C-alpha cells in the first residue's frame, strides 16, 4: 500500500468500530467516509458516485457483474475471451447458458474478426482490459461498440489494468467494470464494481440494505476508505507512467542484449507499462522462481501444477505458445514504489540465474539442487 493509503485507513482500524448502517453519530461518520470514498473512486474512472458498488474484492465484483447480467438478458450465449482470469471463466461456465470463447492472436490481443463472428446469438460479453499474465491490453472500446450495436450487455475485468493505464468508463462504453484495490496500491479484501446508470441490476449477496440494497453485509469501512485514498493517488499520477516504462524497458533490454534465447511474450506495444512476460529458452520456470526467490526477486509463472507436472497456462495455450516456451516463461512486474536502479539490478540477477541454471543442466546437475550451485546474492 502507498503510505497515504495506510494513513487514511489507520483511524478506522483503531477507532472506527461503528456500523455504517446505525443511526448514532459515529455511524454517520462511517457512512460519510464510505460516501467520500465512493466519490473518489467514481471521479477517478469518470463515473458518477451512484454507479460505484463496493465489494469484497475483484472476484466478487466479477461474479456480481456476470450474475446480474445473466438475469438481465434473455436467452443466448456468453462470449468471453479465451484469456480471461479464472474468476470470469469459472463464473461464466457456472451460468446456465452456453459459453463461446473468443480467440486471441499470437500476440495475445483479441482477434476482433473472429470475436465478431461469435456475436450472433450472444446475450452477454466479458472481455478483460489487460491480461493478468502478459499485461497485453485488449480492445475493450471496440468490443463495447460491437456489443452496443447488437444490444448485448458488456462487462470488463479491469482489475489488472487499474492504475497502470487510463480507465474512463464513458469512453470504454461498458455496462459493468470490475476493480480490486490491491492492484493499485490499496488494501486487499476490497473491490468495486461500476454499474452503468440506467441498467437493471440484480444483487449477488442478499440480506440487508447496504450499498443501496445492491450488496448485503456490513461494509469494510477501513478498506473502502483505503480504496478511495488509492484512487485519489492514482488520479494524481494520471497517465504519466514514464517511470514504469523506463524500468520495464531497462530490465528487458539488458536481458535481451546479454542473454541468448530470451523472448518477450505478447504484444510489445499494446501492453501495461509495468509488466514483462519473458521466456527463457532451456529453463524451467519453476526452477528459476526458486533461484530468484533466494536472490530476493519475487516473480511468477503462469503455468499450473497438475499431478506434479508443470504445464502452460490457458493464456499461453490460447496464444499458441508451445509447451517448452510456456514452461520457461515468467512474469515480472514493477510498481511506482520501485527505483530505476532496481530494474538493472533485477536484470543482472535474472541473467545470473538463467546462465547458471543452464550451466547446471549442461553438466547434469539436478535442477532441484541447482539452487545451491548458483549462489546468487545481492551485490
Q: Any idea which residues carry the catalytic annotation? A: 305
3-state secondary structure of 171: helix
Within 8 A by CB and 6+ apart from 154, the residues are 124, 125, 126, 127, 143, 144, 147, 148, 173, 174, 175, 176
- Count the neighbouring beta carbons within 10 Å of the beta carbon of residue 307: 5
Within 8 A by CB and 6+ apart from 67, the residues are 91, 95, 202, 204
C-alpha cell at 174: 461498458
Looking at the DSSP bridge assignments, the partners of residue 162 are 165
320 phi, psi to nearest 5 deg: 85, 15
Alpha-carbon Rg for the chain, nearest whole angstrom, is 22
DSSP string covering 67-117 = HHHHHHS-S-EEEEETT--HHHHHHHHHSSS-EEEE-B-TTS-B-HHHHHH
Q: How far apart are CA 301 and CA 279, in angstroms?
A: 10
Q: How far apart are CA 69 and CA 74, in angstroms?
A: 9
> ∠ CA 206-40-72 to the nearest 5 degrees?
35
Q: How far apart are CA 71 and CA 75, in angstroms?
A: 10
Amino acid at each position: 500500500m502507498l503510505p497515504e493509503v495506510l494513513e487514511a485507513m489507520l483511524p478506522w482500524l483503531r477507532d472506527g468500530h461503528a456500523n455504517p448502517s446505525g443511526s448514532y453519530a459515529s455511524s454517520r461518520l462511517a457512512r460519510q467516509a464510505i460516501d467520500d470514498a465512493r466519490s473518489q473512486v467514481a471521479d477517478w474512472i469518470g463515473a458518477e458516485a451512484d454507479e460505484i458498488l463496493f465489494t469484497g474484492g475483484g472476484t466478487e465484483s466479477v461474479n456480481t457483474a456476470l450474475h446480474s447480467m445473466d438475469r438481465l438478458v434473455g436467452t443466448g450465449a456468453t462470449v468471453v475471451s479465451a484469456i480471461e482470469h479464472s474468476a470470469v471463466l469459472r463464473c461464466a461456465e457456472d451460468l446456465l447458458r452456453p459459453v463461446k470463447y473468443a480467440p486471441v492472436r499470437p500476440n495475445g490481443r483479441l482477434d476482433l474478426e473472429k470475436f465478431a463472428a461469435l456475436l450472433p446469438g450472444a446475450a452477454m460479453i466479458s472481455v478483460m482490459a489487460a491480461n493478468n499474465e502478459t499485461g497485453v491490453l485488449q480492445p475493450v472500446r471496440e468490443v463495447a461498440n460491437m456489443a452496443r450495436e447488437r444490444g448485448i450487455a458488456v462487462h470488463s475485468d479491469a482489475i489488472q489494468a487499474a492504475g497502470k493505464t487510463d480507465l474512463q468508463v464513458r469512453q470504454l462504453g461498458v455496462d459493468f467494470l470490475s476493480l480490486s484495490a490491491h492492484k493499485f496500491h490499496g488494501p486487499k479484501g476490497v473491490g468495486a464494481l461500476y454499474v452503468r446508470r440506467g441498467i437493471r441490476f440484480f444483487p449477488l449477496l442478499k440480506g440487508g440494505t447496504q450499498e443501496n440494497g445492491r450488496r448485503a453485509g456490513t461494509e469494510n469501512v477501513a478498506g473502502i476508505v483505503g480504496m478511495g485514498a488509492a484512487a485519489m493517488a492514482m488520479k494524481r499520477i494520471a497517465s504519466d507512467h514514464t517511470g514504469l516504462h523506463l524500468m520495464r524497458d531497462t530490465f528487458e533490454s539488458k536481458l535481451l542484449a546479454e542473454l541468448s534465447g530470451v523472448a518477450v511474450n505478447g504484444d510489445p506495444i499494446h501492453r501495461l507499462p509495468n509488466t514483462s512476460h519473458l521466456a527463457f529458452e532451456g529453463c524451467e520456470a519453476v526452477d528459476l522462481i526458486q533461484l530468484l526467490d533466494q536472490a530476493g526477486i519475487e516473480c511468477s509463472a503462469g503455468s499450473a501444477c497438475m499431478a506434479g507436472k508443470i504445464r502452460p497456462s490457458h493464456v499461453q495455450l490460447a496464444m499458441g505458445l508451445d509447451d517448452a516456451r510456456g514452461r520457461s516463461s515468467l512474469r515480472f512486474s514493477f510498481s511506482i514504489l520501485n527505483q530505476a536502479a532496481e530494474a538493472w539490478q533485477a536484470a543482472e540477477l535474472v541473467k545470473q540465474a538463467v546462465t547458471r541454471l543452464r550451466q547446471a543442466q549442461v553438466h547434469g546437475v539436478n535442477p532441484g539442487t541447482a539452487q545451491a550451485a548458483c549462489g546468487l546474492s545481492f551485490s
